[in-house]
Chain A
Amino acid sequence: MSFIIQFLTELQEVGNLLWRCIKGLKKKPRYFGEIMRQMDLIGVGSLGICVLTGFFTGGVLVLQVYPTLDYYGATSNAGQGVATGLIRELGPVLTALMVAGRVGSAISAELGSMVVSQQIDAMRALGTSPARKLVTPRIIALIITLPLLTIAADMFGLIGGGLLANYLHSLDPNIYISSVRTGTHVEDLLASILKPMVFGLIIGVISCYKGLQTTGGTVGVGISVTKAVVTSSIYVIIADFFLSKVLQSAFSGTMF
């Protein structure tokens, strides 16, 4: 029971933080420079790991699926298999998890150490709202960059799958590409942009919240970082399920 109460209180506080950020959007200053800096740190900084993740995921998909396709004599559909798996699910989710690990931890560590060294208090004492100055730019940067990172991961995943199919199984690249094209639908592409935006919001809000909640010195920072990464990863996966369901129903026109 106390667990449920704790969950609800946290939900309320996270909601509060988010609401303050949204309210703050109307007011000046808007910290565009800070948003740009965060996009550079989060987006450009995470490009490498996301591309690598995508590339090898595409490869492993082909590796695992190809023998089955071969059994049914459907190897020409390999591209379709990779495209569906990557663009619908693995691309957005794995990218979000990588970013939760890399960026979520960095955000909560930075904000957490600012709390324990009283920098957040100093900021408020100097008349700045930490929600607007620190939280909003990070959330916006995540919402913008995560879809872009996902697209990059998807691209490299498709390339990775194609290369592997060609290298291991001598699949004609033209067959692979045309199969990818038949396997890619507009709905999938839309979903693969919408989902990461929601994941970006989740990672941003949770990491900032956990960072700002830090108590108990440097040890507390470590705890906050762990909580931020674990919690945001879990919520990304849970949100993914419900989002997939909602989007699926919405696109097929049979809501519920």
Chain B
Amino acid sequence: MSLFETHQQLISPSATNGSVPVGTPAIEFQDVELAFDDQIVLDKVSFTVPKGVTKIVLGSSGSGKSTIINLILGLVRPDAGRILIAGEDITPFDDMDLMRIRKRIGMVFQEGALFDSLSVYENVAYRLDEQGVDEDEVEHEVMRMLRFVDLEDAVDKMPIELSGGMRRRVGIARALVGNPDIVLFDEPTAGLDPPTARTICELAIKLRDLEDVSSIFVTHEMNNLEYLSSDYAVLDREGNVHFEQEGNNLCMLNTEVMMLREGVIIFSGSEDELKATRDPYIRRFITGK
């Protein structure tokens, strides 16, 4: 299907060069520490996101989930520890080096963070416009992305005219333009109706299973966790995407779960392991009582 055409020329050369050894995680945190004033936000956080894997990050409000994502983008600098993106330590990077890293990362912000002064089209086209890609190519890519999130009709609207869910989907389209190989979702389904939330999870599943994208998916919602860890996407002969349920004979290897509590990782493993845990805090988080 047209969605998965590859546009190699849109990606910076460094994103596609083969010099990174096989098996290098897409994202790696090594003992990362961060404090704002005297409040410790992250305390010796270490984890890896292998290539092609979706890491679901759970945790209550204020536990440091968005902070982790901001660290990956270099929007916030750690006080101690190392952050590696595709094997490259970004902690000593200056703004120019970070720009190079950010080119291969797509980010879906918690509140959408669309540019108010730009139309939907210009929002989605933003990254390509900045890179000076020629107009026909930009238009093709933008329309492809808007079809992907099912918002072709809204192309000329301004963000202010959109509903919350539409804004979020435009944010996703903007993040995916240029085929980034890492995508960060910060609570992409918060405040959306169940079918729209499901659609967004399906987008993430498609990226994971068909595009080999590595991602971090921050969420509060248990049904997101359910979808992401039990459904997978396959292409049939005609090239249509189907979603299938994880059966007994199939074990999802490309989804991991991690839970934060006040800046400390208190759980890391698969969804089944999470459900089987005896920890009262985690039990309360997943069952809500």
Q: Do A and B bind each other?
A: yes
Q: Does B75 contact A (CB under 8 A)?
A: yes
Interface size (B, Cβ < 8 Å)?
22
Q: Does A121 contact B (CB under 8 A)?
A: yes
Contact (A121, B95) CB under 8 Å given A126-B126, A128-B130: no
Q: Given the complex, which residues of A lie within 8 Å of B174, measured CB to CB?
A: 122, 126
**B128 nearest in chain A by CB position:** A126
Q: Does B266 contact A (CB under 8 A)?
A: no
Q: Does B46 contact A (CB under 8 A)?
A: no
The 0/1 profile, CB within 8 Å of B marked 1, for residues 115-152 of chain A is: 00111011111111100000000000000000000000
Q: Are B73 and A124 in touch, CB under 8 angstroms? A: yes
Q: Are A125 and B102 in touch, CB under 8 angstroms? A: yes
Q: Does A253 contact B (CB under 8 A)?
A: no
Contact (A127, B70) CB under 8 Å given A117-B116, A118-B113, A122-B107: no
Q: Given the complex, which residues of A lie within 8 Å of B130, measured CB to CB?
A: 29, 126-128
Q: Are A127 and B99 in touch, CB under 8 angstroms? A: yes
B111: contacting residue among A118, A127, A129, CB under 8 A: A118
Q: Given the complex, which residues of B lie within 8 Å of A114, measured CB to CB?
A: 116
B113: contacting residue among A20, A117, A128, CB under 8 A: A117
What distance in Å separates the Cβ of B70 from its nearest Cβ neighbour in chain A?
7
Q: Does B205 contact A (CB under 8 A)?
A: no
What distance in Å separates the Cβ of A215 from its nearest Cβ neighbour in chain B?
11
Which B residues have a C-beta under 8 Å from some C-beta of A? 70, 73, 75, 95, 99, 102-103, 105, 107, 109-111, 113-116, 126-127, 130-132, 174
Which A residues have a C-beta under 8 Å from some C-beta of B? 20, 28-29, 113-114, 117-119, 121-129
The 8 closest A-B pairs by CB, nearest first: A118-B113, A122-B113, A125-B107, A127-B102, A126-B127, A127-B99, A125-B73, A127-B103
